[in-house]
Structure 1
């Protein structure tokens, strides 16, 4: 049984490779931070489920690396709870990706929507992982970079000590019909994103473990190998 700890989004043994999301957030801009070596954060959005999430977990275990799972709260139920527990107990980070995955947190009058859905998801997570579990890492559906008018929502999150996290690398599996259709195209898309953002010691990679993301799973070993070959350590967001 993994040793849990109060007030965090990961087990105690993950302390060795857990980094404050607030520090990573700053490092992604290219600014100097306490992170003075190369670290990659594999992040998986839109789980949890019983078809894709366990297969992603198996691949991560096979390659001996850890990731951060951004969970949509309404996916947590009695069927998926064991998978969420496995993610946590395997030493991965557990983060929050809203409760219903809407795209309207910047809508007039909805400045409280994000914090409300944050707490809905946190409550669902605590029902599975225990009342002392906590996560202060949030990702907006579509990413913060996709929207304007989030200042009030951001302020609500910040007041609770919550950091919103985007990404500075991706595999293109969120693009739907316009996205890459082959493994080679997906790897090429990933390579292109690496030069599209400010140069930094950290790479936060957007991938999805939602149902049907077979191509993302197929290239995951190659993504992992790329970062290993380029001298990156693998971290989780905390």
Structure 2
């Protein structure tokens, strides 16, 4: 069993895909249709993971990457690892363009997906991503800040854990009952919100760790770069501001309006390779 994989039966891996017990979180999509049966794994998915066998050698559990980000002193001393991440997809156009960029560069990435959006893309693109060595992680079911973060700590824990339950059920309905990801990225980032200790504990009971970032291309900033070279300069600047760590997690997006991110990615990937970074993915 590869590092980070979980055995069948753990956290519901391999079971019939049914609707969670909590009410469905708000969504701009049609209601989730749970098949109520065990769903065959999509071609390329390694059971108990969010990736394929191609990623086994460079897939790291979210709990490990989270520790590296929170305590830089624990990062590997003898190598540099970069985790290129994309939020808010998948989308046929922009995810497809980023897959082309990654394939040409011989790089890989972790795609933090808004679960209902995987209904709108061709399964062949998801299979291609897995076979290329990428990881398909979770970026919520609702992406609704008001639902996720308003109220008491207990309210947030209830809604965030419920959101994750619906997200993984939706992903399993498309990717297969053996899909599991220990990586969850909060909409807006964990760092942006308070009183999340109870929600962290609720996710941990599910075998899940949250993942933020310590570098970015700036493509979600209000005053984002306006040129392709500007995106690369933002990556360099944010890494430097993080004290040039040996482990870098870069925030990008592969959704509508991110054409310049796709155009800038070849130069970003080339520069990362020139700096001696190995490309990892987060399981």
TM interval, shorter chain, is over 0.9
Aligned equivalent of 1:49: 91
Ranges of 4+ aligned residues in structure 1 off by more than 3 Å: 1-4, 33-36, 78-82
TM-score, with normalisation over the residues of structure 1?
A: 0.92
Matched, 1:60 2:102: yes
Query: Within the alignment, does 1:9 sit opposite 2:88 as a pair?
Result: no
1:6-155 equivalences in 2 (<5 Å)? 6-28=47-69, 29-33=71-75, 36-77=78-119, 79-104=121-146, 105-108=148-151, 109-155=155-201
Which residue of 2 is the match for residue 161 of structure 1? 207
SS of corresponding position for 2:145: coil
More divergent stretch after superposition (96-105 vs 74-83): 74-83
Cα offset, 1:199, TM superposition: 4.4
1:161-204: CA deviation from partner (whole Å, max 9, x where unpaired): 1010000110001114x221122322222222112225421100
More displaced 10-residue stretch of structure 1: 62-71 or 72-81? 72-81
Structure 2 length normalisation: TM-score?
A: 0.78
1:31 deviates by 2.0
The residue number in structure 2 matching 1:184 is: 229
Q: 1:93 to 1:198 in 2, by over 3 A?
A: same
Q: Is the 8 A contact 1:106 1:153 kept in 2?
A: no
Moved more, 75-84 or 197-206: 75-84
Superposed CA offset, 1:23-57 (max 9, x none): 11111231224574101010000001111111111
Shift of 1:111: 2.0
After the TM superposition, which of the residue ranges 84-93 and 125-134 deviates more from structure 2?
Answer: 84-93
Distance change >3 Å, CA 212–CA 170, structure 1 → 2: same
**Any gaps of 5 or more consecutive residues in structure 2?**
1-41
Matching of residues 197-236 of structure 1 within 5 Å: 197-236=242-281
72-81 or 165-174: bigger deviation? 72-81
| Runs (5+) with no aligned partner, structure 1 | none
Instruction: Give the secondary-structure state (helix, strand or coil) at the position aligned to 1:194.
Output: helix
